[in-house]
Amino acid sequence: MYVCLCHGFTERQVKTAIEDGGAGSAAAVYRHFSCAPRCGKCVPYVRDMVKAAGAPPSAGCGCGEGCTCQDAASGR
């Protein structure tokens, strides 16, 4: 199933980015695909997939104090 129609990536590709690519946040998943959210409709689903996988936060991405990733900057 397609997760992002703007960039054309699928659920399987997102799972691979999380499991094999080490993406531990929604921002890291988008970085894996060398893109950023366009319309934003896929962001909640990508975020849920990361949480469901139990992925550890990406290096430098704790989405806490001092975090500068796209998720933290947008308040997600």
Banded pLDDT at 54 (limits 50, 70, 90):
confident
C-beta separation of 29 from 18 below 8 A: yes
C-beta separation of 30 from 36 below 8 A: yes
Banded pLDDT at 68 (limits 50, 70, 90):
low
Alpha carbon 7 to its chain centroid, in Å, reads: 13
SS3 67: coil
Evaluate if pTM is beyond 0.75: no
- Domain of 65, in residue numbers: 2-73
| Mean local confidence (pLDDT), 9-20 | 95
Check residues 12 and 55 and name the one with the higher pLDDT: 12
Q: Which of 22-26, 37-41, 72-76 has the lowest mean pLDDT?
A: 72-76
Q: DSSP state, 55? A: P
pLDDT of residue 73: 47
Q: How many folded domains does the chain comprise?
A: 1
- The alpha helices in 4-76, defined as continuous H runs, are 11-19, 26-32, 43-53, 70-73
